[in-house]
Structure 1
């Protein structure tokens, strides 16, 4: 098949790919659904890969929940082939209804495919519009400032299972959905329109419609989110340094750190990270439970052994120890040091991306 020439990607997006993908030694994997955002990501990534001499692998998940899904996956495969990008379709063999289950299955399939390809990074097509929608959704749910800082450019995949941890990178967070579609139109590239993206039964669609109707609100939301993001970058960088310097991983998977824990909210996030690592948890903990346990740890003389999120927590000889509540598979235990390292990278890299060192 004749290879299509990818678009000449704007310099700001090339720079975003450079910074985020510096953490990938192997091929760079791309999640492509066939929608406008993900096809723009694929085409820009192909341009970037040609410039930098990097290998790509496009991945499409067929959840098996819609009859059109198989055709959409073939459509993506054709576009990828035209760009000279290898492509794989991943199928959910036991599909179940429900957005949360489908989302987790998608993450599991994509991470497993990335590991199989020898990759540690997966690109997704979250945009500036997704940031604004996420802000409103989290604000309605009562999120604090940390959550309102929004979608992060680099994070640890919530995929379950064992193996090398995979990082999710989002190079299009500063690009609007309209800008990306204008690029596709200029290239004569069609895309798939998912009917659920117009269904007001979904909260994200309602927020999208609200923002489209009130451009000034969109601008205010993005400006506020940007200020909160700057604060979060500093906090996450400090958390990454603490995880790197003060946390020891024992051979049995137990995590140990000297007391006291970092102060305030940072202590809660630090404890949440230890519990996630030790217990193999991928979903966030309930904030109220985490806050109560963090306060108890601040009074170590009265703390009795506790459990939370699949982890057992106790204090001995001035050290906090966090271990899996129940025995984990050996492969999962052996992966804890690598997951800790990936968590440190995700905490620290966003700061370097936003605030690069001056030469």
Structure 2
């Protein structure tokens, strides 16, 4: 239970739990309930019905019954405009849960990602050519991946180091049945194909997780250094323009830090692609003349030793957008600096 305390110790309001009815999320619900009982915290559970399968409504009702038995408030969130793509469904799911949690006054949402998910993510990202930073995998604590709906919401993954088999044994000991989503067996999805390849490969999983643990340590160190740079070398002027001192940053950190700042100022959910940020970073730190550029909805200028970032006119326009950018900057700097 110490991990729940560490990840959610600064949470305000009820702690949210995403529960699909599968084994991972149900085990998370049971463990979170025990933690909440011991620590005097309140929980609220969310189940998303994407309306992509007719069985989803019955599955949500089954989860609601389990939550009622635990005396945990439960909400079923329905996607009113369903689309079949996984990426769209994921975004809609996170947006609905973030908005529902904020409406309850909560700040932390628990997800049931496991060590098995980490291994699968490692192999999927390796195939896509990810750098070591991406191969470090999912983080125990992260900001909500949607914006602006996810403002002020953090994602926590308390069972990230536990295997799916371990969690299922936990449920079996307690006599709790789970739901097997048929999409988890559909080879049309890359994660399902990777999961099939990994079946019975326990030694490989162990080796990947050991490698990933070292990459996680490196990533935490890198993010602490970026947080220090954000605190010492980034300022915001009276007009809401971000001023950056990029001097002295090693190349890889320069590209990553600039990408994060472009994400913040442009109000985007992810940084621009590295192959777009890298040449911009090189131009900004060279002795060559720089007349300005735009990338990711951001206007970029250089004045002596400082780089100015301001949202493009169609992105900016009111104090609310500037307040969002300031809040995102503070949230990322705080998350990186925590080194969780």
SS at match of 1:327: coil
Partner of 2:337: 348
2:81 to 85, 94, 107: 94
Partner of 2:113: 126
Residue 336 (str. 1) matches residue 336 (str. 2) = no
Partner of 1:61: 48
Partner of 2:315: 327
Residues 258 and 106 of structure 1: is their aligned pair in 2 closer, same or farther, counting only changes over 3 Å? same
Partner of 1:224: 211
C-alpha distance in structure 1 between counterparts of 2:232 and 2:300, whole Å:
20
The Cα of 1:176 is off from its aligned counterpart by 0.6
Residue 41 (str. 1) matches residue 63 (str. 2) = no
The Cα of 1:301 is off from its aligned counterpart by 4.7
The 4+ residue runs of structure 1 with deviation greater than 4 A are none
Partner of 1:286: 273
| Cα RMSD after superposing both structures | 1.6
* Structure-to-structure mapping, 1:270-285, within 5 angstroms: 270-285=257-272
The Cα of 1:143 is off from its aligned counterpart by 0.8
C-alpha distance in structure 2 between counterparts of 1:300 and 1:85, whole Å:
60
Partner of 1:28: 15
* Structure-to-structure mapping, 1:191-270, within 5 angstroms: 191-250=178-237, 252-260=239-247, 262-270=249-257
Contact 1:247–1:257 (8 Å) recurs in 2: yes
Residues 250 and 115 of structure 1: is their aligned pair in 2 closer, same or farther, counting only changes over 3 Å? farther
SS at match of 2:309: strand
Residue 138 (str. 1) matches residue 104 (str. 2) = no
Partner of 1:310: 297
The Cα of 1:251 is off from its aligned counterpart by 5.2
Contact 1:36–1:181 (8 Å) recurs in 2: yes
2:144 to 139, 157, 160: 157
C-alpha distance in structure 1 between counterparts of 2:32 and 2:195, whole Å:
26
SS at match of 1:281: coil
The Cα of 1:255 is off from its aligned counterpart by 1.5
| 1:264-308 deviations in Å (ceiling 9; x for gaps) | 111111111111111110034211111111111112652221111
The Cα of 1:162 is off from its aligned counterpart by 5.3
In terms of mean alpha carbon deviation, does 18-27 or 329-338 score higher?
329-338
Q: What count of residue pairs does the alignment treat as equivalent?
A: 338
SS at match of 2:199: helix
- Identify unmatched segments of 5+ residues in structure 1: 1-13, 354-359
Partner of 1:6: none
Partner of 1:167: 154
SS at match of 2:213: helix
| 1:316-345 deviations in Å (ceiling 9; x for gaps) | 242211111233354332122221221123
Length-normalised TM-score, structure 2: 0.95
The Cα of 1:259 is off from its aligned counterpart by 3.6
- Identify unmatched segments of 5+ residues in structure 2: none
C-alpha distance in structure 1 between counterparts of 2:46 and 2:182, whole Å:
21
Residues 157 and 253 of structure 1: is their aligned pair in 2 closer, same or farther, counting only changes over 3 Å? farther
C-alpha distance in structure 1 between counterparts of 2:145 and 2:199, whole Å:
30
In terms of mean alpha carbon deviation, does 207-216 or 100-109 score higher?
207-216
The Cα of 1:173 is off from its aligned counterpart by 0.9
Residues 332 and 80 of structure 1: is their aligned pair in 2 closer, same or farther, counting only changes over 3 Å? farther
Residues 291 and 233 of structure 1: is their aligned pair in 2 closer, same or farther, counting only changes over 3 Å? same
